[in-house]
Amino acid sequence: MVKTQIEARGIADKKLLEAFRNVERHKFVLPEYIPYAYNDSPLPIEEEQTISQPYIVAFMTDALNLGKTDKVLEIGTGSGYQAAILAELSDSVYTIEIFENLGNKARKLFSELGYKNIWCKVGDGFQGWPEHAPFDAIIVTCAPTKIPEPLQEQLAEGGRMIIPVGSSPVQHLVLLKKRKGKIREERVLPVRFVPMIDTSGKKY
Q: Residues with catalytic annotation?
A: 52
Q: From residue 123, give the alpha-carbon distance in Å to each of 160, 192, 199.
A: 22, 23, 7
Specify burial of residue 149 (Cβ count, 10 A radius: 0-12, 13-18, 19+).
exposed
Q: Are 64 and 16 in contact (CB under 8 A)?
A: no
CA separation for the pair 104, 200 (Å, rounded): 19
Residues 6+ apart with CB under 8 A from 166: 143, 145, 172
CA separation for the pair 19, 134 (Å, rounded): 25
CA separation for the pair 45, 102 (Å, rounded): 9
Q: Where are the alpha helices (DSSP H) in 95-137?
A: 100-113
CA separation for the pair 173, 164 (Å, rounded): 4
